[in-house]
Amino acid sequence: MSRKKVRLEREKSSQAPKKDKDSFTRRDFIGSMAAIGAMGLVGAGAEKSNEEKSEMPIWSGSLKAQGRRTSKADRPSLIVIIADTWRADHLGCYGSNRIKTPYLDEFAKQSVLFENASAEGLPTIPCRRVYHTGKSVLPEAKWQPLAASDTTLAQVLSKRGFTTGFIVDTYHHFKPDYNFHRGFDSWQWVRGQETDRWKSGPQDKFDPKKHMPAHLWNERYDRNMRQYLMNTQNRNREHDYFCARSCQAAMDWLEQNMNNKPFMLWIDMFDPHEPWDAPPRFQKMYRDKYPYERYLFGYGVRNKDIRPDDLPVIRDLYAAEVSFSDYCIGQLVRAVEQLGLMDDTVVVFSTDHGTHLGEQGCVQKTPALLNACVTHIPLIIKHPDKSFAGKRIDGLVGAVDFMPTFLALLGIDDYKNMDGRNMWKLVTQEVPSIHDNVYTVFGAYGAIHNLQWHYFQNIKGKNPGKGPCLYDLSNDPAQTKNVIKHFPQVAKRLRNQLQSHLKTEIPVLKL
């Protein structure tokens, strides 16, 4: 099946956005602003109760109303939303007919959707190094802080008159000396995600064994989940969840800075990363009853301990986390509209990578299976010019292209110290392509990807993992069948290209 036919089939099967009966109700913004809505809240306390709570607005700004933006800036502004660990195929606009993502699906209709965007360096921190600098991190994709010599997007924009803001609950950014807040005029860390050492007690109050099957328990898992349970012990309503708190913080920042023109707001949310612990009403979108009242699944579990009957529940927990993240992002986008910012603001949605959900026995992102489950990333860009709405771009783009593209869209052409290219030239049809191949490295594994083939292998040692592996994308766009034995010469050619790009000797592994 051709790529165009695959896309058409996906579009036919995509779920149209629906209004949820629990969707936000209209309320007044502070003073003269229209409401973005209030979350229909069901109690989801850490250990206590499931009783219904009174409704609370996600918006809780305390400033006097500033109204809508009073005038346009000479340059567009920029809002970037990065949501961690989001599989592209878990969006309706990318072909899912099961996962409920009505808000981003609607956003995509107003935007440009890039069908073939790929991660470059995985996981979390290597990816952010690429996004914030426009520089490649290959061949090793090391987990390390920004270098003193790095120049960030925020620094470039600050020198050109932009007000810059950084709203983050992805706690890795703020580990000692990581410096990802460099160049931002303001930054806010929403504390408590995953194993962030935010709360230290009471440890004996929480028992992770109450929230997971006994066969998944191990000491590391216990430590991780105990920390998370402590971090969420005061959570009572949906707006207390980290995703909602980050989006609310972003709304507050926008209200305070919308007339500081132009501006750049970078929002980096850990959801839908593990632990998969969405509010109950989102979990019930996928099943009425779970094995535990609050089933937690996160880092520390061992793949070998996961049983086949665990997988459907794990997939539903992740799906619920995706739908909740979509919901919160939808309210943030609505706030951008209500504040009158859409007419002169570029709004971007993307992620760092995806995750495995049982493919070939892999759960959570697994370097040894470096396929589309983790390398294919959603990328949706809304431009103030409505003539771009609804475009879908087939051309290859990569994470290293983000910063060059953002600068071009903001009318900045005097900063060149980047390795990527301006992908917007594909949208305007100035060029037919910007890459013949894109490359991804995750741990000991590397991949090369083009519109016809995807190849990966161990690039550092002899352990083949699930490779060496070759996928024929014209016949298998979901990358499920290894055809390397049928096309050994293609595999050899791609392996040589991968080695040449990484500028390092990679082992020859048996096909």
> pLDDT value at position 49?
36
3-state secondary structure of 76: coil
Residue 496 CB contacts under 8 Å (≥ 6 apart), including other chains: none
- What pLDDT score does 321 carry? 98
Kindly report, residue by residue over 342-351, the tens digit of the pLDDT: 999 999 999 9
Could you tell me which residue, 48 or 418, shows the higher pLDDT?
Answer: 418
pLDDT value of position 2: 43
The helix or strand, by DSSP H or E, that contains position 243, with its residue range, turns out to be helix 242-257
For residue range 209-218, list pLDDT tens digits in order: 999 999 999 9
- On average, the pLDDT of the chain sits at 89
pLDDT at residue 217, as a whole number: 96
pLDDT one-digit tens code per residue, 136-153: 999 999 999 999 999 999
Domains and CATH numbers, the chain: 3-438 (3.40.720.10), 444-511 (3.30.1120.10)
Tell me, what's the pLDDT at 53? 39
Q: Is the pLDDT of residue 365 over 90?
A: yes
Tokens representing 314 are 């794990």
Question: pLDDT value at position 285?
Answer: 98
Give the per-residue pLDDT at 260.
86
Mean pLDDT of 459-487: 97
Give the pLDDT confidence score for residue 35 in this predicted structure: 37
Element (H, E) at 16: none
pLDDT for 73 beyond 50: yes
Q: How confident is the model at residue 198, as a pLDDT?
A: 97
- Which whole number is the average pLDDT over 99-126? 98
**Lowest-confidence pick of 69-73, 97-101, 325-329:** 69-73
At 495, list the tokens.
Answer: 């392996």
- In terms of pLDDT, which residue wins out, 56 or 171? 171
- Between 26-30, 114-118, 311-315, 319-323, the lowest mean confidence (pLDDT) is in 26-30
pLDDT in tens, 187-242: 999 999 999 999 999 999 999 999 999 999 999 999 999 999 999 999 999 999 99
**Ordered alpha helix ranges (H), 339-428:** 372-375, 402-409, 424-427
DSSP state, residue 261: S
Give residue 189's identity as a one-letter amino acid code: W
pLDDT of 96 higher than 60: yes
In which residue are the tokens 């800075």 written?
A: 257
In this prediction, residue 1 carries a pLDDT of: 47
Task: Give residue-wise pLDDT tens across range 252-272.
Answer: 999 999 998 899 999 999 999
| pLDDT band at 4; cut points 50, 70, 90 | very low
Q: What is the pTM of this model?
A: 0.88
Question: Given the structure tokens 């992102």, which residue do they identify?
Answer: 365
d(CA 40, CA 275): 22
**Neighbouring C-alpha atoms within 13 Å toward the C-beta of 381:** 22
Would you state the pLDDT for residue 71?
67
Q: Over the range 67-82, which residues count as b (16 or more CB within 10 Å of their CB) and which as e?
A: eebeebbebbbbbbbb
Supply the pLDDT for residue 67. Answer: 60
